[in-house]
Amino acid sequence: MKSTSNYGVLMMNLGTPDGPNTSDVRRYLREFLSDSRVVDLNPLLWKPILNLVILTIRPPKVAKVYQQVWMDEGSPLLVLSQRLKENVKLALSEKAGHDVPVELAMTYGNPSVEKAANALRAQGVTNIIVVPMYPQFSATTTAAAYDRLMSSLGRCPHWPALQLLHDYADHPLYIKALADSVRRQWEKQGERRHLVMSFHGIPKRYVTNGDPYARRCTTTSRLVAEELGLSDDEWTHVYQSRFGREEWLKPYADATLKMFPSQGIKRINVISPAFAIDCIETLEEITLELGDEFKDNGGEAFDYIPALNDSPEQVALYMDLIEQNTKQWT
């Protein structure tokens, strides 16, 4: 199909190592953790800690974790993001009756923003809708993606018209898709269980300073609980993936789940709505680490409900986000 679209789509996710080995993980963590949107400490203090401690100790450990979840085609975050991108492109092009250019870029690592923007330009695109693949806005992720795009275009003589998507924490199709995936899991397992909605954490200080992330996460949890008709004692909202010593958003997932069995909550389902795409954090940290800790403390049943990934529901959601925000161009 020839492209006659007057706009293109740039989908952006976080980024992941090129391979599950120490040097690729070190390169990835260096780029990611050097971004002041992610770690805002004074560089004079942070750089020596990062280079001498974190990048020495963490990469070999984390590489082993990546090896546990690596797919034949590559890192789950990249492979599943690519599949979603292909499905969105197909659906948009079919509906438009002509080819709609859609590219995927990562804020850190590959595929780079430069490569994706060049590919869009080569397809004649002058209007770009930027779709950060983060349901809940945070300066640590969404704004970091915007920064990366702006700095890559800084050297470009022909700036495209840009539409930056903010977030979709309360989008009805997103809430319904999450609720439907819980209903499907309950049907499959033949029982309703206590629902844990676990979000990637950020330092509490960032929220105190104005990051809307926590507010957007609690909005998502409340709406999913409402859609499922859950009473307050049938669901719990927590944050996982703590990093470093300062206080992060609470309640912490690990501490909360450890206490559950002694409170009579022994059979649970965990969903992680902040991740559009499954990755090391959901496939290893939640499914394996948290699951084992829960069972070691007396839990009987723990099942993780996968991210929306490249499902038809997620494609319909992204189609709607794109269509609603490109009306000025179509």
Segment (H or E) for 261: none
State which of residues 142, 163, 181, 241 lies at the interface with Fe ion (CB under 5 A): 241
Cα–Cα distance between 52 and 54 in angstroms, integer?
A: 6
Cα–Cα distance between 104 and 9 in angstroms, integer?
A: 8
Residues in a beta bridge with 132 = 12
Phi, psi of 132 (to 5 degrees): -65, 130
Phi-psi map region of 249: left, alpha, beta (phi>0 left; psi -120 to 50 alpha): beta
Complex with ligand L6N33NVT: residue 33 or 125, whichever CB lies closer: 33
Complex with ligand L6N33NVT: residue 131 or 279, whichever CB lies closer: 279
State which of residues 24, 167, 281, 310 lies at the interface with ligand L6N33NVT (CB under 6 A): 281
Tokens of 274: 């902040």
Stretch that binds ligand L6N33NVT, among 95-103, 138-146, 159-167, 306-314 (CB under 6 A): 138-146
Stretch that binds ligand L6N33NVT, among 133-141, 161-169, 177-185, 265-273 (CB under 6 A): 133-141
Does the annotation place 200 within a ligand binding site? Answer: yes
Complex with ligand L6N33NVT: residue 186 or 243, whichever CB lies closer: 243
* Torsion sign (Cα): 147, 152, 156, 160: negative
Does the annotation place 103 within a ligand binding site? Answer: no
Considering only residues 17 through 46, tell me which ones interact with ligand L6N33NVT, judged by CB under 6 A: 33, 38-39
Chain centroid offset of residue 181 CA? 17
Q: Does 278 bind Fe ion (CB under 5 A)?
A: no
Cα–Cα distance between 317 and 40 in angstroms, integer?
A: 33
Q: Does 280 bind ligand L6N33NVT (CB under 6 A)?
A: yes
Per-position x/- string for 202-241, each x denoting binding to ligand L6N33NVT as judged by CB under 6 A, each - no binding: x----------x---------------------------x
Residue 59 amino acid letter? P
Chain centroid offset of residue 299 CA? 27
Cα–Cα distance between 298 and 300 in angstroms, integer?
A: 6
Per-position x/- string for 285-304, each x denoting binding to Fe ion as judged by CB under 5 A, each - no binding: x-------------------
Considering only residues 65 through 124, tell me which ones interact with ligand L6N33NVT, judged by CB under 6 A: 75, 77
Closest separation in Å from C-beta 108 to ligand L6N33NVT: 9
